[in-house]
Amino acid sequence: MDIILDFLTNISWWGWILIVLAGVAIRDIFFQKAHTISHNYPIVGHLRYWLESIGPEMRQYFVANNREELPFNRIERGWIYASAKKENNYEGFGTDRDIYAHQHIFVNNAMMPYKIADNHPNKIDKTFLPCAKVMGEFNKRKRPYRPASVINVSAMSFGSLSAKAVESLNKGVKIACAYHNTGEGGLSPYHSHGGDVVFHFGTGYFGVRADDGGFSMEKMVKLVNDNPFIKAIEVKLSQGAKPGKGGVLPAAKITKEIAKIRGVEVGKDVLSPPNHKAFSNVPEMVDFIEKIAEATGLPVGIKAAIGKLEQWEELADIMKKTGKGPDFITVDGGEGGTGAAPPSFADHVSLPWVYGFSDLYCLFKDKGLSERIVFIGSGKLGFPAKAAMAFAMGADCINVAREAMMSIGCIQSQVCHTNRCPSGVATQSKWLQNGIDPTLKSERLAQYFKTFRKEFIEITHAAGYEHPCQFKMSDIEINVDDHNLSKELSRTYMYNKTPVPFTSMQTLKDCSYLGGVY
């Protein structure tokens, strides 16, 4: 024994390194079967896997230029971070974008901007920008709702996001007078810090789930009665990142608390099926919407990504014939985010926002229905100029998911599906989310929303208008290609939006249905 110990203690440090490397080489060649590269190139083969694993960070920090990353490039992320922290979000020396590039958008400015009077609501509050339409007004719901902010937090569930992140978002929307969409995972205590809430559910019916896994109207009514801050209900048909796929919450993210809120088992992937149990065709869906609206008194809308139009056409015909149907429609673009989705879906299924929205809006407009629906857009629209384009096309509000995540600290590491989110935003790890201070982060979300609204109002004024609902298709131009140079939206997408009835910002402020706590 002493001889062995003596021998081992006499091995030098480089001797130990050689022994470890020899061990790794033996394992690579004889024992592991999973990696051909390590077998064929023992030891050095590991370098490849390591470099590959740190590649995204290397590219993000050192290699990618300011405008080339996706989903959000460095300039976009920087603008959100600076806006959220109320830091200087200007750029010096002029734009660094290629403004002749395909799809670049331009807002046609007026010769003289809109002038606000001394007693104008925006003179008092430069960020006051409510929705110009009221949800549920046409259908005479008992509790109509006018969102007090044109930018709001899009569907993201507790489960997909951490408790601290959900709490920060809810406290943030309260400060910014916006609403918070719950996402599919049900209403959690973290959604209940005083902000307006849009309760969202999908095919899993989490939070309003009957024992057989279907929808429970009894639970829906109780939920709405117990939580008066729920202002509207959104039925999810699909989302841009994975339409027709249903949902997945990986087992790694299912804690006891999440399992209890959703009514599912701990430690097993939670799958929402692709189809609803509560309805199986368009007329049944309209009945379902009407029953929920009748039982709760709230406006009820649907969220979907757009592809084929036949069933939408059927919906529009029913709405025209019966005077019933959704109070709002949220159109999600194919570029939309998700907690987890197969790339084949995220990359290819459903149309990008501009194509999907223009198809859908035209369809409803042609049937004379666009005035009675509140159109909400989502899909990387959380930037004032993008929002101006969306409003010119017919959107009345926008929802933001990833932009909201970034405002509370997300660094776009794109690992939401692994439970290892380094910023603590999209993980259930207690350690990782402990870095989030909800008081500070809620201020950040609120500040991002306020900065967004302030800049959006300024762009609106530059175009000669008081409210962005007045944007017309001809106010925005988009580079199409070299031959046509740039074309107005109306000529590119071949329609004009229905003018939104708007009298003044003061009327919106005086509206008894106005949400938030103004």
Ligand X SMILES: Cc1cc2nc3c(=O)[nH]c(=O)nc-3n(C[C@H](O)[C@H](O)[C@H](O)COP(=O)(O)O)c2cc1C
> Does residue 262 bind ligand X (CB under 6 A)?
no
CA distance 322 to 159: 39
What is the closest distance, in whole angstroms, from the C-beta atom of residue 462 to ligand X in the complex? 24
With binding defined as CB under 6 A, does residue 426 bind ligand X?
yes
Judged by CB under 6 A, does residue 386 bind ligand X? no
Rounded-to-integer distance, Cα 515 and Cα 178, Å: 8
Contact window for ligand X (CB under 6 A) among 225-233, 249-257, 342-350, 378-386: 378-386
Tally the C-alpha atoms within 13 A of residue 189's C-alpha that lie toward its C-beta.
Answer: 5
Name the residue among 144, 130, 224 with its Cα closest to residue 176. 130
Which residues between 239 and 258 bind ligand X (CB under 6 A)? 239
- Cβ 233 to ligand X shortest distance, Å: 13
What's the angle, vertex CA 391, arms to CA 447 and CA 133, rounded to 5? 85
Which residue in the set 242, 303, 441, 497 belongs to the binding site for ligand X (CB under 6 A)?
303
- Does the footprint of ligand X cover residue 337 (CB under 6 A)? yes
Angle between helices 353-366 and 310-322 (to 10 degrees): 30
Our finding on whether 339 is near ligand X (CB under 6 A) is yes
Q: Are 166 and 191 in contact (CB under 8 A)?
A: yes
CA atoms of 133 and 147, how far apart (whole Å): 8
Q: Is 428 in the site for ligand X (CB under 6 A)?
A: no
What letter would DSSP give residue 448? H
Structural tokens at position 495: 């329609």
Between 425 and 505, whose beta carbon lies closer to ligand X?
425
By CB under 6 A, is residue 379 in contact with ligand X? yes
> Residue 362: how many CA atoms within 13 Å on its side-chain side?
15
C-alpha–C-alpha distance, residues 130 and 118, integer Å: 19
- Range list of H helices, 137-211: 163-176
354 lines the binding site for ligand X (CB under 6 A): no
User: Which CB, 397 or 505, lies closer to ligand X?
Assistant: 397
In this complex, which beta carbon is closest to ligand X, that of residue 155 or of residue 489? 155
- Cα–Cα distance, 193 to 169 (Å, whole number): 9
Does 157 interact with ligand X (rule: CB under 6 A)?
Answer: yes
Q: Based on CB atoms, which residue is closest to ligand X, 114 or 328?
A: 328
Q: How many residues does the chain have?
A: 518
Nearest-angstrom CA–CA distance, 132 and 509: 10
Contact flag: residue 360 with ligand X (CB under 6 A): no
3 state SS of 33: coil
Smallest distance from the beta carbon of 502 to ligand X, in angstroms? 25
Among 80, 131, 156, 289, binds ligand X (CB under 6 A): 156
Tokens standing for residue 85: 């922290």
Q: State yes or no: residue 470 binds ligand X (CB under 6 A).
A: no
> SS3 for 403?
helix
Q: Which residue from 178, 285, 401, 421 is in contact with ligand X, where contact means CB under 6 A?
A: 401
Q: Which of 69, 76, 184, 455 binds ligand X (CB under 6 A)?
A: 184
336 contacts ligand X (rule: CB under 6 A): yes
CA dist., res. 238 & res. 144, Å (int)? 25
Exactly one of 133, 141, 402, 417 binds ligand X (CB under 6 A); that residue is: 402
Give the range of 94-102, 143-151, 332-340, 469-477 binding ligand X by CB under 6 A: 332-340
Told to check if 301 binds ligand X by CB under 6 A, we report no
List residues binding ligand X (CB under 6 A). 154-157, 160, 183-184, 236, 239, 303, 332, 336-339, 378-380, 382, 400-403, 416, 426
